[in-house]
Amino acid sequence: MKKKILVTGGTGYIGSHTATELILEGYDVVIIDNLYNSGAEVADRIEMITGTKPPLEVFDLCDRERLGTFFSEHNDVSAIIHFAAYKAVGESVNKPLEYYRNNLLSLINLLDCMKQFAVPFMVFSSSCTVYGQPEKLPVSEDSPIQPAMSPYGNTKQIGEEIIRDTVASVSDIKAISLRYFNPIGAHPSALIGELPRGVPENLVPFITQTACGLRDELKVFGNDYDTPDGSCIRDYLHVVDLAKAHVVAVRRLLAGTNKMNYEIFNLGTGRGVSVLEAISSFERVTGLKLNYTITERRPGDIEKIWADPSLANRELGWRTLSTLDDAMRTAWEWEKKIRKM
Ligand code: WQD
């Protein structure tokens, strides 16, 4: 009997890649998405990759009554992977109430329904942003949580605490939070990938949009940091590797091999890569010369962060398999596909 997994935000960037990997691993997937930042056609693309089209229910998780109706119609959901959230750091500074309401109320409604409908497991999409600028690198799960640098980051910190307190208050809910470092790249089929609305905030979509002529130039936000080449360092991991980690996490909960009722894992490569190194990787795999200029630092950027992924390596038996070049290559193939180049 196939286990049914609810993927909220499943037509989004990481959600769609995870829904794909879940189906390929033999799970039944149902998606809830309000299509705020994605399109319904993603479910068709998932079908083109996997041969199975996941049912898509379009509504807002903040609508508690509608969510309750969903669970009364789907009383066989074994676990939830919760991606649905607003995630633009800059936007969250300008719209804090929208971010707190959307990201926290959707989570609270889900947890409430888990209690009401006896859904035992949740995998939560968290972020390395909870660490702020770490004192010590690489960052492990017991590295100190720093005061959030943005309302977005705060919703991830508060979200983890809401889950922790809920799991502690009831005996039949178990959860895993996955703290992503910087997901990049696209599915090798170039059928799904990152589709940022408007001007991308993140580095790699801005690189690929510059390379295809959609943007005039990439601005490198500062090269006067205390790093080898002066540009900021991040831990970039391929989105397919990240998606596979979610399959492993949900399998761990379903099998009952989790060691604690609430577990947290860093998901990264364990290697720091600078902005200029990322640009070099893109130029290497595409043979293109990227048009970029060095500009002022971006307010709020941290200088350097990369993961210590050893807990996930050991406990989940998961590690990243794709290289930075693989990620850049798939990001470019995806960009060319959507621009019909
Ligand atoms: C990466 C580096 C920029 C754009 C954010 C969120 C984090 C997570 C991942 C959700 C930085 C530089 C970028 C550009 C640039 N998201 N850059 N020019 O800020 O590390 O993390 O996305 O969980 O929560 O904060 O990612 O891709 O925006 O920036 O120079 O046009 O690229 O300064 O050093 P970031 P990013």
Q: If you write DSSP's letter for every residue of 214-279 in order, what string do you get? A: SSS-EEEE-S-SSSTTSS-EE-EEEHHHHHHHHHHHHHHHHHT--SSSEEEEEES-S--EEHHHHH
pLDDT, greater one: 196 or 223: 223
Other CB atoms closer than 10 Å to residue 116's CB: what's the count? 12
What integer pLDDT is reported at residue 188 of this predicted model? 98
How far is Cα of residue 145 from the mean position of the Cα atoms in its chain?
Answer: 19
Nearest-atom number in ligand 1 for the CA of 206 is 31
In the chain, the percentage of residues whose pLDDT exceeds 70 is 100
CA of 203 to the centre of ligand 1 (A): 6
- Residues recorded for the chain: 341
Residue 152: active-site member: yes
Banded model confidence at residue 90, pLDDT cuts 50, 70, 90: confident
What integer pLDDT is reported at residue 179 of this predicted model? 98
Token pair 């769609």 is found at 16
Element (H, E) at 179: strand 174-180
Banded model confidence at residue 149, pLDDT cuts 50, 70, 90: confident
> Strands 77-82 and 121-127: what pairing?
parallel
Banded model confidence at residue 197, pLDDT cuts 50, 70, 90: confident
Banded model confidence at residue 57, pLDDT cuts 50, 70, 90: very high
Nearest-atom number in ligand 1 for the CA of 231 is 34
Residue 234 Cβ inside 6 Å of ligand 1? The answer reads: yes
Nearest-atom number in ligand 1 for the CA of 278 is 32
Q: What pLDDT digit, counting tens, does each position of 249-264 carry?
A: 999 999 999 999 999 9
Task: Give the mean pLDDT of 73-99.
Answer: 96
Banded model confidence at residue 196, pLDDT cuts 50, 70, 90: confident
Catalytic position from the list 13, 152, 180, 262: 152
